[in-house]
Amino acid sequence: TPRPPNAFILYRKAKQPDVVAQNKNLTNAEVSKVISKMWWKETEEERFQWEKRADRMKLKHMQDYPDYVYQPKKP
């Protein structure tokens, strides 16, 4: 079971298609850097909206998987 996405992951997922469409030659790592800069330029209010979305996703995840415990795999 995957972990619920955080605010930045949701933001990145929403912004990626536009960034890729405008910059077809960027690698995935470069796209992430561009979106990261966009994230930090957003207003506090805008980032708060994404945090609220992430919180809703987290609550839904908790309801769907009540016994879920994050267990990272050891290398």
CATH class of 7-64: mainly alpha
Identify the pLDDT of residue 43: 98
7: left (phi over 0), alpha (psi -120 to 50) or beta: alpha
Structure tokens at 22: 């405008």
Could you give the CA distance from residue 27 to residue 57 in angstroms, rounded to a whole number?
A: 28
Asked whether 23 and 31 are in contact (CB, 8 A), the reply is yes
Structural element, H or E, at residue 54: helix 44-64
CA dist., res. 1 & res. 72, Å (int): 12
Predicted structure pTM score = 0.89
- pLDDT number for residue 74: 83
pLDDT at residue 73, as a whole number: 86
| Per-residue pLDDT tens digits for 20-75 | 999 999 999 999 999 999 999 999 999 999 999 999 999 999 999 999 999 988 87
Q: Where are the domains of the chain?
A: 7-64
pLDDT higher than threshold 80 for residue 1: no
